[in-house]
Amino acid sequence: MEAAVAYAEAKGWTWRKMGHWGRLFCAHADRDGCRVGVNGTPRVPFHHAEQIRRAVDRCPHDRESNDEDL
């Protein structure tokens, strides 16, 4: 779990503590931004970590910021 959160943070996502664990928010920090809930004790930690990585990789806002740099 912590490796998946570190992966998201390396991609520019921010971490906010909410409830038992927290939530990750993409760099597009407004109403339309992506967010992923992170459970502290998921049933299958490997699958939950994969879901987090998949959501980070599929975030369209990361691509928009890369396109603006060109």
pLDDT in tens, the chain (70 residues): 889 999 999 999 999 998 888 999 998 877 888 999 999 889 999 999 999 999 999 999 865 555 555 4
> What is the reported pLDDT for 70?
46
The helix (H) or strand (E) run that includes residue 16 is strand 14-18
Q: pTM of the full predicted structure?
A: 0.80
Closest to 16 in 3D by CA, of 8, 53, 32: 8
- Give the Cα separation of 21 and 3 in Å (integer): 14
Query: Would you say 21 and 39 are in contact if contact means Cβ atoms under 8 Å apart?
Result: yes
